[in-house]
Chain A
Amino acid sequence: MAVLELANISKHFGAIQAVSDVSLALDAGQVVGLMGDNGAGKSTLVKMIAGNFRPSHGTMRLDGEELVLHRPVEARKYGIEIVYQDLALCNNLTAAANVFLGRELRRGLGPLRILDHKRMYKRAGEIFRELKSETRPRDLVKQMSGGQRQAVAIARTMLSEAKIVLMDEPTAAISVRQVAEVLNLIRELRDRGIAVILISHRMPDVFDVADRVIVMRRGRKVADKPIAASSPEEVTGLITGAIEQV
């Protein structure tokens, strides 16, 4: 049963056709690597799922219901969480404050409700434990390593019952050891039955963690197959256009 189905999705900005006629289905507990060169349309595609853009044509269905998003904040309500490339973290706040940003826990009544720091620290700690990440809820994000910052951004997606997590280049700017950490975080999400779309330029990461690979070129989907049935050479060929389509 597919969590998310896209049917004949297109998007144009004026005369520029960014995405044309893409259909795909995403299953629960599956990691899909979305690959393609710069300008291939993968970011535009993901931004439509995230509610940043409305598709020009085509429909999106979430659990069989048609999905129409007007703003990124709405996506969250439907269980679609996004981990942005720059992670969207506030350096001056603690890890817990970042995890709960925009969804703070409060206690008390009516207009006198105050922030429940204790419960937020506790819950953030539990999530980091589940993610098996050595991240302290009370530390300021500015003191953290790249891997810990990723953990904070990913922990956000686990606050509510997320169905789909979109990750934009999570391994682009971090060290080798931290990449392994992030790939483990992605596996944790998958094991919880969450569907993950991983946008990445890094072939080894996609082949390491993904179950399926989708390749885009010039706004079109040119491949969609199980990772086991593909190879880095084939994907490279598809990205560059040496291989037309599979």
Chain B
Amino acid sequence: MAATLERTIEHRQQTWPAALLASQTFWVLIAVIFACIFLSFATDSFATAKNLYNITRNVTFVAIIALGMTLVIITGGIDLSVGSVLCLCSMVLAVVMHAGYSIEVGIAASIGTALLIGAFNGVMIAYLGFPPFVITLGMLSIARSLAMVASNNTVVFQFGPDHDKLLALGGGAWFFGIANPVLYMVALALLTGFVLRWTKFGRYVFAIGGNEQAATLTGVPVRRIKVAVYMISALAAGVAGIIQTGWLGAVTTNIGAGMELQVIAAAVIGGANLAGGVGTASGALIGAALIEVIRNSLGLLGINAFWQGTFIGGATVLAVLFDRIRNFRQSE
């Protein structure tokens, strides 16, 4: 009896290959790889250095924001304001630098704006009990309007004395010809993955999404963690905004419009569950990659761009469908 008890407790129910096969993220990754292989053969222009450079760089903006969004989604929340926050942070950076301040001041102002907005969202949600959907929907409208106010709804494309530094930050390729934004994305993804797996904070993010009441009863500082999570989400949008400004070399008041939906789609395709409690950093990246590969391939295959939404929407539904089917099997 004692021996069987011992063996039961020590026994691992799932080995890592089994866990891998059961993960949505893994299958989406397989889909991305297959799509890439297919496109390399089907078109001449896919597997060229220039196109791959473009794809990897385009992925980053959605992917970086999706990392922050994944944290929010794991806690069971949602942040609809990220597209507008990206716009406002870009605009703050642009206006401050245009006024003659250095790049450091511009970035500090931009990051500060992001953190302030995130803190506002978080406090309203965690301490005043607002539904995340409502407060971030309000912020979606407020942040974009503030960007218009800050710039008087003009396009800013001159960034003062540090103009070239900013363009190099976003548009350069300092390391083996890999676009800078990609390097930032990889670094931030590794950081997010580390935080989720190895820190108390990460553990609490999952606990809140799993059972908020239980987290409170066991002494998890639920409110503070929630505020932090929305601040991280806004920060991710701000960072993406700064990089994107450097890459585009101009800021208009409509950048990032509708981006929140792409970001949420990327997180969900990558395996994050909107009900809370589930999500990974690698999933956010892989989800964003699938979306970008779909967009890119439609162009290369000569399919009318109007079909883009159908394909991306279809991919979102399909990715979650696999998860549903697995759940049905388990419950039977």
Chain A residues near B214: list those with CB within 8 A. 86-90, 101
Q: Once the chains bind, are A136 and B11 in contact (CB under 8 Å)? A: yes
Count of B residues near A, CB < 8 Å? 28
- In the complex formed, the residue of A with least CB distance to B221 is A102
Contact of B206 among A89, A93, A143 (CB under 8 A): A93
- What's the count of A-B pairs with C-beta under 8 Å? 83
A104 with B12: in contact, given A84-B217, A92-B277 (CB under 8 Å)?
A: no
Count of A residues near B, CB < 8 Å? 33
A112 to chain B, nearest CB (A): 10
Chain A residues near B9: list those with CB within 8 A. 125, 128-129, 134-137
For chain B, what secondary structure do more than half of its interface residues adopt (helix, strand, loop), or is it mixed? helix
A89 with B211: in contact, given A76-B219, A115-B203 (CB under 8 Å)?
A: yes
Q: Does B332 contact A (CB under 8 A)?
A: no
Q: Does B213 contact A (CB under 8 A)?
A: yes
Q: Does B44 contact A (CB under 8 A)?
A: no
- In the complex formed, the residue of B with least CB distance to A115 is B198
Chain A residues near B152: list those with CB within 8 A. none
B1-32 contact mask (Cβ, 8 Å, vs A): 1 or 0: 00001101111111000000000000000000
- In the complex formed, the residue of A with least CB distance to B13 is A139
Contact of B217 among A72, A104, A114 (CB under 8 A): A72
Q: Does A106 contact B (CB under 8 A)?
A: yes
Q: Once the chains bind, are A136 and B203 in contact (CB under 8 Å)? A: no
Q: Does B188 contact A (CB under 8 A)?
A: no
B110-146 contact mask (Cβ, 8 Å, vs A): 1 or 0: 0000000000000000000000000000000000000
A110 to chain B, nearest CB (A): 13
- In the complex formed, the residue of A with least CB distance to B10 is A125
10 further A-B pairs in the complex, CB-CB below 8 A; given A82-B217, A93-B207, A139-B13: A72-B217, A72-B219, A86-B213, A90-B211, A91-B210, A92-B278, A93-B210, A101-B203, A102-B218, A102-B219
Interface of B with A (CB < 8 Å)? 5-6, 8-14, 197-200, 203, 206-207, 209-211, 213-215, 217-220, 277-278
